[in-house]
Amino acid sequence: MHADAGLRDLAPGNHYLKLENLQRTGSFKDRGALNRMLRLTEAERARGVVTASAGNHAQAVAYHGGRLGISVTVVMPETAPLIKVTNTRGYGADVIQVGTILDDAAAEVQRFAAEEELSIIHAFDDEDVIAGQGTMGLEILEQVPDVSVVVVPVGGGGMISGIACAIKEIKPDVRIIGVEADAAASAKASRDAGEVVKIAASDTLADGIATKRIGEITYPLIERYVDELVSVGEEEIAAAILLLIEREKTVAEGAGAVGLAALMTGSVTLSETDRAVLLLSGGNIDINMISRIIDRGLVFDGRLVRLAITVKDRPGSLAGLTRAVADMDANVLETYHRRAFADISVGDVGIVIQMETRGREYVIEIVHRLEDLGHEVREEQ
Looking at the annotation, which residues are catalytic?
29, 281
What is the distance in angstroms between the CA of the first residue and the CA of the last residue of the chain? 38
CA distance 12 to 53: 37
355 DSSP β-pair partners: 305, 332
Neighbours of 76 (CB within 10 A): 26
CA distance 57 to 109: 14
CA distance 179 to 62: 27
* Alpha-carbon distances of 366 from 325, 330, 334, rounded to whole Å: 8, 9, 17
CA distance 28 to 277: 15
In the chain, which ranges are continuous DSSP H helix? 29-38, 42-47, 56-68, 82-90, 102-116, 127-143, 158-170, 186-193, 218-225, 234-243, 254-265, 287-301, 317-327, 360-372
